[in-house]
Structure 1
Amino acid sequence: MKHIVEPDLMAVNKLLQDLTAADRIRWAVETFGKDAVLLSSMQSSASVLMHYFYSMELENEILFVDTGYHFRETLLLRDEFMRRYKLNMVTLYPELTPEQQEKNFERKLYLFADGQKECCRLRKTVPFLNHMKQYGRKLAMVGLRRSEGGRRAKLNPLLQDPRTHGYTLHPIFDWTDKQIQTYLQEYDVPVHPLHKQNYPSIGCECCTTSVEPGEDPRAGRWRHLVSAGDEGPKYCNINCSDGSGI
């Protein structure tokens, strides 16, 4: 496969469109070398991608942002992947502890509609972007899929990320929920236990609840910030793909 230094988005997306997930990942690593990383949320789609890194024997970094507010199960799953598959897992941390942040702002930011966005920025986006810039990482692979709907329904395989002057790759952008589950079962891949407890989308413990039958899969995210006539936030915005470009 041709080595591309500065990808032509239209041409590369046309190329990647019909490739397998493994070949999309292979393209990223062949093109960007060690500067291609995986950003893992520890949700089911991330489990698939982390297993791909293992099966393809990749030593590229897998980034996990520890916000200080994660479910215990999320941290235990990270540790299990590290033990079982010997992955190059890099845990990133915010500059401030939750206690220091609360003291600085004189409140728990996540409890307020005007504070949630800043809390997500400080505790998720900033640590991720700082790492990408500090070490010159040029491409981040993420597990977003078109089938999730919303802004993600129009995902292309490759997207420019102006925040890093690099790119975001969606290796399984065209996968269905059934494909995810089939892969996880076939290879006996560890899965976040809360998925089986009606948590289809899992973020920080303080901002995530289970969902009822018939609810939108993301209804459990920031439910406490939903008010009359306002749906509340839908994304934390660590993913460039969830921004205004889509």
Structure 2
Amino acid sequence: MANAARRLDLIDTAPAFVEADADALNARYAGVGTTEMLRELLTTQLKGRVAVVSSFGAESAVLLHLIAEIDKDIPLIFLNTQKIFGETLAYRDEVSERLGFTDLRVFRPDPYDLAAKDSTGLRWSYDPDGCCDLRKVRPLRRALAPFDAWISGRKGFQGKTRGALPRFEIDEGRLKVNPLADWSKDRLDAYFEEHRLPRHPLEAQGYPSIGCSPCTSKVKPGEDPRAGRWRGWDKTECGIHTPGDDPVF
């Protein structure tokens, strides 16, 4: 009986997806249009098992519009790090309301974690990795606990660490879907124009990539779109997406 119990426990904790699943999906949807791929996944294999995670950054409205055209009831997760630009919070409310999402879920850092490890709120200034772990990585793990898969808005053109970004990858036993992996900036801009989507108000002020306010600066013409993130630090990702995730978000 004890052996049987152990076997059941192993079954219960087995990952929902493994690398072979991501490889199969990358092969299955190679050359398939983004809308067709999303519609098939969200209405069949991933229905009820997936959430979309959005930063409501500069280009977030494109992915959210694509998904809202298929399923407005999909859980939509937003991480409020409590260091977010006020403009981003307002943009979140505007976009989610306009597109008709019914299940916006906001996750914040654990107050006990903050009291123990960032009581001054200044950890970003001397340990940005630790700050991201407290304010993004840990809350996202809590947010994704009920799901087998999640949808990310990463794009391959957004910096050298994302250049070979696949549509499907595995992250901590979950399937991570990157529907816009192969979209160019021109294609995104054309989609905004075609569907008359609102732009993030900070984009016009020189912020092509928008994160937390202390760690986001304006980008000069000709710079990498993510050059304004953690400027001056040897850091390119928040920990939700790490360079190691990508085969070279």
TM range (shorter): 0.7 to 0.9
1:141 equivalent in alignment to 2:143: no
Alpha-carbon distance in structure 2 between the residues aligned to 1:190 and 1:96: 33
Query: Per-residue displacement from partner, 1:183-218 (whole Å, max 9, x unpaired)?
Result: 011101122111111101100001111011222221
In structure 2, what is the equivalent of residue 234 of structure 1? 236
SS of the aligned residue for 1:42 comes to: coil
- State the one-letter code of the partner of 2:32: L
Structure 2: 5+ residue runs without aligned partners?
Answer: 1-15
Alpha-carbon distance in structure 2 between the residues aligned to 1:184 and 1:98: 39
Structure 1: 5+ residue runs without aligned partners?
Answer: none
1:120 equivalent in alignment to 2:132: yes
In structure 2, what is the equivalent of residue 54 of structure 1? 68
Alignment of 1:78-227 (within 5 A): 78-87=92-101, 88-96=103-111, 100=115, 104=119, 108-112=122-126, 115-133=127-145, 135=146, 137-162=147-172, 165-223=173-231, 226=232
Shift of 1:11: 2.2
1:145·1:170 contact (CA, 8 Å) conserved in 2?
yes
Alpha-carbon distance in structure 1 between the residues aligned to 2:121 and 2:83: 15
In structure 2, what is the equivalent of residue 12 of structure 1? 25
In structure 2, what is the equivalent of residue 243 of structure 1? 244
2:53·2:150 contact (CA, 8 Å) conserved in 1?
yes
1:124·1:238 contact (CA, 8 Å) conserved in 2?
yes
1:145·1:173 contact (CA, 8 Å) conserved in 2?
yes
Alignment RMSD (CA, Å)? 2.1
SS of the aligned residue for 1:125 comes to: helix
The sequence identity of aligned pairs, in percent, is 28
Distance 1:149 1:212, change over 3 A: closer
Query: Per-residue displacement from partner, 1:101-143 (whole Å, max 9, x unpaired)?
Result: 6764x5611001xx1101101101111111212x2x0111111
Alpha-carbon distance in structure 2 between the residues aligned to 1:98 and 1:185: 42
Q: TM-score, normalised by structure 1?
A: 0.85
The structure whose Rg is larger is 2
1:28 equivalent in alignment to 2:41: yes
- State the one-letter code of the partner of 1:96: P
SS of the aligned residue for 1:74 comes to: helix
Higher helix share: 1
2:161·2:246 contact (CA, 8 Å) conserved in 1?
no
Alpha-carbon distance in structure 2 between the residues aligned to 1:216 and 1:245: 18
Shift of 1:97: 8.2
1:28·1:139 contact (CA, 8 Å) conserved in 2?
no
1:65·1:124 contact (CA, 8 Å) conserved in 2?
yes
